[in-house]
Amino acid sequence: MPEKIKKTIPWFIILALMMFGIWTSFNAKRKTAIADDLGTSVQVGNVAPEFTVVTDDSSTSGSPTNSGSNVTFTATATDDNGDQWKLLVCKTAGVTGTDCDDGESDRWCVSSLENSGDPASCNYTTGDGDAPSHLIPPP
């Protein structure tokens, strides 16, 4: 008479089924979202600020600023990111990084660090070497 063979499930299959059950129960509690349900937005960093420049028309070609006199430059910058800013006034149009192209020799003045929306000003004392060619003609 044939012997009865006891059929058992190998231990590694039982372990795999238990791990699958545990993994499934953890993932069932996890919240999922469908891409169509989500909104997207992008905040662009380092947006250029908006400037308001205060002009002082006391120095004109008919009545120039005398050598040794003080000139004050004033502006206000408002930055959408709320970044702080400095007023940098260069003798030429070039700026490299955070300074005029040729550094201090190319700089008329630089203000202290200001908060967005706060005015900044800096002073420059004119010298004999400041030629009238630096004057910007009125619009």
- pLDDT, tens digit, 9 for 90 and up, residues 17-34: 888 878 777 666 666 666
Give me the pLDDT at residue 1, please.
Answer: 58
Percent of the chain at pLDDT > 90 equals 14
Q: Tens of pLDDT along 32-83?
A: 666 666 667 776 667 778 888 877 667 777 777 888 888 888 999 998 888 8
Residue-level pLDDT at 138: 47
Element (H, E) at 78: strand 70-78
Mark residue 63 as left, alpha or beta (left: phi above 0; alpha: psi -120 to 50; beta: remaining).
Answer: beta
Q: What is the pLDDT of residue 115?
A: 94
pLDDT at 34: 64
The answer, yes or no, to whether residue 88 has pLDDT greater than 70, is yes
Q: Sheet holding 119-125: strands in order across?
A: 50-54, 70-78, 119-125
- Lookup: tokens for 89: 């006034």
